[in-house]
Structure 1
Amino acid sequence: MNLAATAVVNENRTLKARLNPEVLSSSILIVDDQEINLDFMSAMLADVGFSNIRLARDGLSALELIEADPPDLLILDVMMPIMSGIDLCKHLRRDPRLAELPVLVQTGLSTVHDRIEIFGAGATDLILKPINGLELISRVSLHVERKLLIEGLTRSRDRLATELSAARDLQFDLLPSAQEQSALLQRFGLDLASTFSPSSELGGDMWGLLQRSDGGIGVFIADFAGHGVQAAMNTFRLHTLLQDVRQLPGRPGELLTDLNRRLRHLLPVGQFATMTCAAIDPRRQTLSWASAGSPPPLLKLDGEDWKDLASAGLPLGIDDSTAYETHETAFPAGAALVLYSDALSETPTSSGERLEDQGVRNLLRGSEGESNSQAALSTVLAKFQAMLSGPLCDDLTTIIIRNQIHRLGEERPRDAAE
C-alpha cells in the first residue's frame, strides 16, 4: 500500500472513531444517474461506518423514496434524467415536512451563476466533482450532526414549553377564581376585579383572598424580586405558607410579621418580596392594612380624589426581626381600593418616563365613573397600554375593590349582619 492510500485509510479510521453511533446510523439517500458515482460515494461512507445508505438513479425515483421514508440527509446530483436535481430540490422545499432536510448537491458545475442557481433551489451545501472521499465524509458528517443537534434542541424546547405551560396553568390556578371574586359581591357587597399579566411564561406576582374571623374578607398582593422560574417558585413557597393561615389575623401586620420571619429562612440569598395585606370589615365599614415595601394602596371615597395610604415597611425576607404596623381607616359605601404591583408605576412609557405614584393616581381618575370594577379596570389598563411603546418587562398585577353595598340596596352584608 502506497503512502497516499495509507494516509486515506488512517484518516478514515480517525473519522470513524470520531463519529458517534447516532450519526453513523442516520439514513443517507444518494441520487446519481452514474453507477460508478453511486458505488464510490456509498463505499466511502460505508467504510467509515455509515450503515443506512439508500441509492436512486434519477430524481423521480428519489422523490418516491423520500416521500415514503424521508432520509436524514440527501446527496443529490444536478444533471439527471426524468427529474433534475434542481427540480427535485425545489419540489422538496415546497413541502413543509421536508423544508429542513439537509441537501448536499454534488456537481461539476462550478461557475458563480451555477452555484447561485443551486442554492436558490434550496440546497444546503455543495461539493464539486471530482469528489474527494474525505471531503464527502466530512460534509455528510457535519450536516447530519447539525440536523441531529437541531432536532435535539427542538425536542428540548418543545418539552420546556410544555412544562412551562403546565407551570403557568398551575400558577394561575393559585389565584382566586372568577366565581370566588363574584361571590364577594353577593356576600359582602364588595365588587372586585383583577388582572395578572406575567412578563414571561411565569411571573413573580401573586394575589389572593383570606377569610377573617370577624366575618370580613382579606386581600393580599405580593411581588417577588425578578421574574421567570425563580420568582414563580417563590410564589409557590408563599402559597404553601398561606395554606397554614386558615383565617386572617385581626391585624394584617401580624400576618406580614409572621410571613417575613418564615420567608427569611426559605428564600434564596438575595431574594425578597414586597407585599400588602388589606382587611375589609363590611359590618364596621372599615379598612385595615399593612405593607412591606409595596407601592402604596390607593383609596378613593365618594366626592374625594384618590389618595395614597401608608406603605412604609421593609420587604419580606430581608430581616426576620421586622415587625409590620397595621393601619385603619373608614371604607364606607362608594369607597374604592386599588392594589397594584410596581410594573404599573415603574414601567417606562413611550416618552421614556415612569408614571410613579402620582401618574398612577392620574391614570385612575375617571375610572370611578364606570358602572363596576371590571369596567373601571379595563379603562385603566387600556389607558396604560396606550402609553407603552412595547411589551411589559415586569409582571403586572392590579386589583380594584369597590364597596357597592348601597347599590345593592342593603345597609350591610347579610353574612356580616348574621
Structure 2
Amino acid sequence: MNPLKPKTPLPSVATENWDDWKWHMRNRIRNEADLCAYLDPTDQEKEAIEATKGVFQWSVTPYYASLMDATDTACPIRRQVIPLPEEMQFDSIGLEDPLEEVAHSPVKNLIHNYPDRVAFCVTSQCAIYCRYCLRKRMVGEAEFMMRKNELREAIAYIAAHSEIKDVLLTGGDPLTLGDAHIEWLLSELSAIDHLEIIRIGSRMPVKLPQRITSDLCNILSRYHPVWLNTHFNHPNELTPEAGKAIDSLLRAGVPVGNQTVLLKGINDTTETMRELCQGLVKMRIRPYYLYQAQLIGGTAHLRTSIETGMQIMRELQGHLTGFAIPKYVLDTPYGKVPLTRDYVMGRNEEGVVIKTTRGDVWVEANEAPATGALPSV
C-alpha cells in the first residue's frame, strides 16, 4: 500500500507513553525548541513559527511529527502543519469566514445551512492545527469552547427542529474530548426521535490514531447509526497505526469515509491522488470528497486552480474502481457544488463562475492556470 514502516517511539519515549493518546496531547510540539527534537527547522519555518504567534494556532502531535521527512523541506506532512512566511501574506481574496458560517448559526457553534442537517462544533480544540484549516478563525480559541449549558442550548435547538435528520459533530476535533463527554453528547442526541444519523468529523485516525481506543469504540457502537469521516491528504499518512485505528472503528460498526483537501505541492498530482485513493480503499475507507481549498486568509500558497482538480478527476477515471474515486466539490455559502462541467460554467474577470445546486450563480475567486484555463463566460 505504501512504503512506510511501522512507526516506533523515539528513543527517549517509553512505549506505554507512545501508545497513550493523552501523552501525545500533553506533549504536543508548540514551539521551535520542541520541533528540533524531530528535525532542524529552516530559517523560513523559524520565521513563520514566530510570526504566527498570537495570530494562528500551531501545534503538532509527536506521532504526526514522526511522519515528517527531516531531510525534505517539501515533505507533504511537514507542509500541512509547519507554518511558512507566506501564511502571513494576506491576499485580497482571503477571508476569515468564506462559508458565512456565522450568519448560519442560530446558536453558538451550530451551523444550519442545509434544511435537514446541521454542523455542531462541539469544541474548538484540535490535536494539530492544519495550516489550511477552514475554521482558523476559531480553532484553539477559548471563546469558541463550548460549556455544558451552551451544548445543551444547541441540542435543544436540534430537538425543536423536526426537519433536522442528520447532525455532524465537528469542531475543532470532537475526538479531542474525553470518552465521558463524547458519550454524553451521543446519548443526548440519540434521544431526539427525529434525528436519524450522527456523523463525526475527525482527523484523529490520521494525526493521532492512538485515540481510537477500545473504550471509545465501545461507546460509538452503542449509538448507531454513527458514521465517521476522516481526513487523509497524502499516502504517507496511511500508516500501520492508522490502519489499526480504522480497523477498530469498522469492527465497532462505524462506517468510515474520507474527505481530502486539494493542496498545492502536497497532493495536487494525479499520481499522488491515485495512490491515496487506492490506499484508502485497501484500508476499507471510502473516498468521499475531494475539496477545493477554501479562500482562507494566508493560504494562497496552498490553493490550486480549479482546473487542476478537474484535470486530476478526469485522469482518475478509468484508472480506479468507481467507488475509489471521490467527488470533487467546492463548498460555498449556498452549500457544496460538484466541480464538474454540469456546474462549472467557465471564467470571468473575477474567477470561476459556478451554478450551485440551488440554482444560484457563485463566482469563486481563483487564479487561472498558465495553460488549460476554462472558457470565458
Bigger Rg over Cα: 1
Higher RCO (C-alpha 8 Å, min separation 6):
2
TM-score (norm 1): 0.23
